[in-house]
Chains A and B, each alone.
Chain A
């Protein structure tokens, strides 16, 4: 399962696009499910090693994910490049796979130094100095993402605005057909507040602690762009402030490392539009509801594959329920 049986094809593909390329070395599987894989490897080029990442869908079929909202891997690569060209910290895409390469759908990008494991970033002393600066950096990165010109991407990106988001998760919740009164309560609270689509920008779609590559120097890159779309920019701000992504440090609203006002300061300083705190709060409530329903999805996944991990995540929907109680009934952010 972890052997790269496509190695000869990958060698052949890279030989055509990287000048001086010799061969792929030390390839290891990092993560992924049945429909999507991430591999780390070194490309030997002119006697030097270049650390790279391959993201691919081996079968060539569409990706199957919990939410079903993923864009194609090729689209993901195009959006990363568009964001990078607008100054967003993201890995450089080196090559988008073609059918003739016989490696599947996907792309190759730079492998940057840094850590993504949230608990390490919140705990390890090497991050002590940078931690208080991360919220502001998140704000600056988000402002740049939200200013990317979406016109050239319009053909490949779905528009999923606030009302559409809420309806999709309502539909998903209805399909699961198991009563969660707190989720009904949250839907009722959110529906009037999310009834109209507001600003429409590029949205990262999964901008949270855990998907940010962080070094002792700061945020090196925003990763995991598979849920990117055009929608309400506050979705990204609400998601990184959702308590599930604070990893136990609830009083640090932004990812467990920072304050919302620092994020907003960084956002506005980088040219982002003014953020209304009440609107941001609405999207934090939405973030908790969304993760709660995603936990219900995990239970559906467990019924298919018997995974103990998915089963356990199913029992985390009650975490989001207490967050929703805290947020809606007690006004706690």
Chain B
């Protein structure tokens, strides 16, 4: 693909909504424009940080479960193993994986969330 990159395009649309469109809008439509701009923020962060986060998540899942697969398949298996208690909730390896993968996920979804700040302060 040519320039601009997909990340630049998303950032441009986000900035347009925030700086140009929103001041012209009122009430519910203004609110939904804010929500839409924030959603594009998620897209931009996922484009930028998603590949590394997913690769790390997969690496951890493979280490935890002992075999390869897609991230969704591995997550389904992890859920099943927690549920049928093959992996206990006291497992340090499990807890570490849950914490690290969640940190990456929230950093993409809601980087200003209070719970993320608390977790990162540790």
Interface residues of A (CB under 8 A from B): 179-182, 184-185, 187-189, 243, 246, 248-250, 308-309, 311-312, 315-316, 318-319, 321-323, 325-326, 329-330, 332
- The answer on a CB contact under 8 Å between B89 and A321 is no
Partner of B109, one of A248, A316, A323: A316
- A179 to B73 CA separation, bound complex (whole angstroms): 9
Shortest Cβ distance from A157 into chain B, in angstroms?
32
Residues in chain B near residue A326, CB distance under 8 A: 115, 118-119
- A318 to B116 CA separation, bound complex (whole angstroms): 10
The verdict on B72 contacting chain A, using a C-beta distance below 8 Å, is yes
Residue of A nearest to B36 (CB): A308
- The answer on a CB contact under 8 Å between A188 and B35 is no
- The answer on a CB contact under 8 Å between A250 and B102 is no
Residues in chain B near residue A185, CB distance under 8 A: 82, 89, 94, 98
The verdict on B105 contacting chain A, using a C-beta distance below 8 Å, is yes
Shortest Cβ distance from B93 into chain A, in angstroms?
12
Residues in chain A near residue B83, CB distance under 8 A: 184, 187-188
- The answer on a CB contact under 8 Å between A323 and B89 is no
- The answer on a CB contact under 8 Å between A179 and B89 is no
- A312 to B34 CA separation, bound complex (whole angstroms): 11
Residue of A nearest to B114 (CB): A250
Shortest Cβ distance from A182 into chain B, in angstroms?
5
Residues in chain B near residue A181, CB distance under 8 A: 75, 78-79, 82, 97-98, 101
Shortest Cβ distance from B84 into chain A, in angstroms?
10
Given contact pairs A179-B75, A308-B36, A322-B102, enumerate 4 new A-B contacts (beta carbons under 8 Å). A188-B89, A250-B115, A308-B32, A322-B113
Q: A179-B75, A308-B36 are in contact. Are A318 and B110 (CB under 8 A)?
A: yes
